[in-house]
Chain A
Amino acid sequence: MLQKLKSKRDVENLRKKIVAKREEGKPLVTVCNGTGCHASGSVAVIEAFRQEIGRQELADKVAIKATGCHGFCERGPIVVIQPGDIFYQQVKVDDMPQIVAETIIQGNVIDRLLYVDPATGKKYVHPSEVPFYRSQRRIVFGNNGEIAPDNIEDYIALGGYSALAKVLFDKSPEQVIEEVKKSGLRGRGGGGFPAGRKWESCRNAPGEPKYVIANCDEGDPGVYANRSLLEGNPHSVLEGLLIAAYAIGSHEGYIYVRNEYPLAVENATIAIKQAEESGFLGKNILGSGFDFIVHINRGGGAFVCGESTALMASLEGRVGEPRAKYVHTAEKGLWDKPSNLNNVETLANVPLIINKGADWFTAIGTEGSKGTKIFSLVGKVNNTGLVEVPMGMTLREVIYDIGGGIKEGKRFKGVQTGGPSGGVIPESMLDMPVDFDELTKAGSMMGSGGMIVMDEDTCMVDTARYFLTFLEEESCGKCVPCREGIKRMRQILDDITEGKGEESDIELLERISATLKDTSLCALGATAANPVLTTLHYFRDEYEAHIKDKRCPAGVCKALIQYYIIDEKCVGCRLCEKACPVEAITFMGKKKPVVLDQSKCIKCGICKDVCNLGAVGVK
């Protein structure tokens, strides 16, 4: 049972007590247990550590902490060892005895577990030196490495809830709003709307009760930043939500979590329970007289519920249909009452702004976009993971300096930002600073922070088709332009990728796009055409190749490509023959190349997957 804190001083005293309790120099093994590392086997690694440390009878001398995501997902499982700030990557269960014996007991670094820069061959010991982390500015996400999500003390030790205490006792709601307005904090979920202004209009809107909602319905495919934040540091979101509630005058809130994130739901639930026990939630918080309760609701598996009015509809037990936003949700939202909805990353920034001040925040970022942004850097990039950079860093720096460039040395083609509402940005614009307005000017948008890197083997027409297929499935179906328009665009893109495209298709795509943008009921429809429009704008030659020449230059669109055997490389090992699901490959004798029957081939690509000699080509 946690101690219930009853005043601002109680919080500070508890922090001091926790910090004092933690012995300096006591060995600490931190293992990343975020979903990415989870899938790479971190649970087994943690268990192996416990067993080895138990075997060596060091259980009371060495601490083990399982934390949330450290961000460098490509190199998971990740282990950081103190003292020494030693960063080990791709750690396996079998490495345990050596790590304990050499690093923990003797303090020696194991070279082969260190990160090696593939470009230079240089090894790095400390996380801050690792090129992936070096250029980042991890003011929000960085704390993940210090926090076990099921232990509120870790959060308090870092100064957690001191911002809440400050706000409840030293600031009026109006002062809090002023500070957030001054910081220039803009919504991190996609809209980029100034948070302070939203809070202000909600505070001023007539009606009671008022609701605050934390949106973790992160639906953009390829983005998992919100998830890792809520999983790894749930209290940062909770504290931000509490401060928002105080500023607005709300006493009841919701954290809405995407259904596909059970770990985030679990960790947030634990965090809420511990916050309640400690007196940060409930009645008379810290003795301030301010009451606040929070519920956790899971999404039902609908991308559209990331949209504020659809989200609120689902909180009312209805289907996730958006409604017109001519009257803002800040005035009439959940149950028609004034409601303030913010993305979880937006909220996690709030305690920092309160503690360090708006001026500190505005010193980071660009004129129109202050602070940092967490991006999901994925796709054909070497260093896949979650990165946090100051607004204004260029795409080139993110993809090359932090991301380590393109996988397998291939050529960069484009980076897709903003999810299905965004667009693909070509090589010519790589020096663009990442910033809300710059991305919008380029025809894309910041969105929730997706950065999907694409190379020469990615077909831009197929990419546009992919996003339309996604949106067609996720459309709520209420309004004609979105439901019917996206379907028609997808049909046209299907035809183009199957070699059935016609010259008039492009103009038709543009016409439908214009109506989608102008008349859709909500942002899903209104931005649905962006992937098509940006790929048309920057990669028109690919569309024309598909339509006029019936050719897919990237070698992706099944109907337009052919798999073939590279005779000089084939030794007749029969791997492809055995794997072919339609028996299209015939063995011609030892050391002779096999023969691929094009009439039977279904273009599944398995032969290329299983061939170890690169003897299967695509054209």
Chain B
Amino acid sequence: MVTINIDGQKLEAKEEQTILEVARENGIYIPTLCYNENLAPYGACRLCSVEISKGGRSRIVASCLYPVEEGLEVKTNSPRVVSNRRMIMELLLARCSQNEVIKRLASEMGVEQPPFRPEYWEDEDCILCGLCVRTCEEIVGRSAISLVNRGVNREVAPPFLEPSADCIGCGACAYVCPTGAIKMDDKDGTRVVYASNWKKEFKLKKCKVCGNYWAPEEQLEYIRKKLNLPADFFDVCPNCK
């Protein structure tokens, strides 16, 4: 166990913890976008940046990744932190100038519009946080989509921008997306999982008992094979079982 100091508060922490984990445990707010406690921290959005000092020297680090150590002093709202956070938000807003989630988050931080010329504002929804990709890889285990290209051309996409053979339509990516860049619609026995540059359609399985469509056949088939379940295992939906 180590003792650290966040915003003047002395807190106990386990040695393997990050600043963000300790802050959250103790109800101290640090904004994040690319963080999810079920996934390994990624450090892409940099919104969680905080100011640390140890032995007189201070610097800015990503709290989702920085490991705690004895005597660490953390400031989550110093002027330096606030101005950095603001600029990151301005950069995100310039990229996603019409996205409601980003607009609201920016507004909460006092950012009403990006400081750049309006003709350069973009209309993206995806902030390239990678939550969808990492979820598909780490939790679902399919790696159907990935981050492709480099730099300003980076985007989330299935291979060759074609419906991925590895995608089972579970919708976890849509669920975890913070900005609604990936959506999922179920209608008339068909599920569509889609983003601005790709989509895949799935036939939904119909329950033999109640007649409701409840999950993509591909997804159920994947689970059935993985757990070695009998062929008719998913013919009846969980509600009717």
State if A and B touch, Cβ cutoff 8 Å.
Answer: yes
Across the interface, A324 reaches (CB within 8 A) one of B43, B45, B88, B127, namely B43
Q: A324-B65, A326-B61, A326-B67 are in contact. Are A484 and B91 (CB under 8 A)?
A: yes
Q: Does B153 contact A (CB under 8 A)?
A: yes
Across the interface, A519 reaches (CB within 8 A) one of B60, B67, B94, B127, namely B60
Q: Which residues from chain A contact B116 at a C-beta distance below 8 Å?
A: 488, 491-492, 508
- In the assembly, what is the distance between CA of A479 and CA of B87, in Å? 13
Q: A477-B149, A512-B87 are in contact. Are A483 and B43 (CB under 8 A)?
A: no
Name which of A357-365, A468-476, A575-583, A592-600 contacts chain B. A468-476
Kindly report which residue of chain A lies nearest to residue B92, judged by CB atoms: A480
Q: Does B103 contact A (CB under 8 A)?
A: no
- In the assembly, what is the distance between CA of A319 and CA of B62, in Å? 21
Q: Does A511 contact B (CB under 8 A)?
A: yes
B44 touches A478 (CB 8 A): yes
Q: Does A463 contact B (CB under 8 A)?
A: no
Interface residues on B, range: 35 or more
Kindly report which residue of chain B lies nearest to residue A487, judged by CB atoms: B152
Across the interface, A326 reaches (CB within 8 A) one of B66, B83, B95, namely B66
Q: Does A232 contact B (CB under 8 A)?
A: no
Q: Does B159 contact A (CB under 8 A)?
A: no
B115 touches A481 (CB 8 A): no
- In the assembly, what is the distance between CA of A324 and CA of B116, in Å? 29
Q: A324-B65, A326-B61 are in contact. Are A475 and B150 (CB under 8 A)?
A: yes
Could you give, for residues 46-75 of chain B, a 1 whenever the CB lies within 8 Å of some chain A CB and a 0 otherwise? Answer: 110100000000011110011100000000
Kindly report which residue of chain B lies nearest to residue A500, judged by CB atoms: B117
Could you give, for residues 152-166 of chain B, a 1 whenever the CB lies within 8 Å of some chain A CB and a 0 otherwise? Answer: 111000000000000
Q: A326-B67, A484-B95, A485-B91 are in contact. Are A477 and B153 (CB under 8 A)?
A: yes
Across the interface, A488 reaches (CB within 8 A) one of B62, B66, B91, namely B91
B44 touches A480 (CB 8 A): yes
Q: Does A105 contact B (CB under 8 A)?
A: no
The number of residues on chain A lying at the interface, defined by a beta carbon within 8 Å of a beta carbon of chain B, is 33
Q: Does A514 contact B (CB under 8 A)?
A: yes
How far is the CB of B89 from the nearest CB of chain A, in Å?
9
Q: Which residues from chain B contact A473 at a C-beta distance below 8 Å?
A: 151
A475 touches B84 (CB 8 A): no
A511 touches B87 (CB 8 A): yes
Q: Which residues from chain A contact B130 at a C-beta distance below 8 Å?
A: 478
Kindly report which residue of chain A lies nearest to residue B95, judged by CB atoms: A484
How far is the CB of B208 from the nearest CB of chain A, in Å?
45
Q: Does B224 contact A (CB under 8 A)?
A: no
Q: Which residues from chain A contact B66 at a C-beta distance below 8 Å?
A: 324, 326
Q: Which of A311-361 contact B (CB under 8 A)?
A: 319, 323-324, 326-327
B151 touches A472 (CB 8 A): yes
- In the assembly, what is the distance between CA of A458 and CA of B128, in Å? 37
How far is the CB of B22 from the nearest CB of chain A, in Å?
15
Q: Does A270 contact B (CB under 8 A)?
A: no
Could you give, for residues 506-522 of chain A, a 1 whenever the CB lies within 8 Å of some chain B CB and a 0 otherwise? Answer: 00100110110011110
Q: Return 23 A-B CB contacts under 8 Å, by A number.
A: A302-B150, A324-B43, A326-B61, A475-B151, A476-B150, A478-B44, A478-B130, A478-B154, A479-B46, A480-B45, A480-B46, A480-B127, A481-B88, A483-B151, A484-B91, A485-B91, A487-B152, A488-B91, A488-B94, A512-B91, A515-B91, A519-B60, A519-B84
| Chain A contact residues, CB within 8 Å of chain B | 302, 319, 323-324, 326-327, 472-481, 483-485, 487-488, 491-492, 495, 508, 511-512, 514-515, 518-521
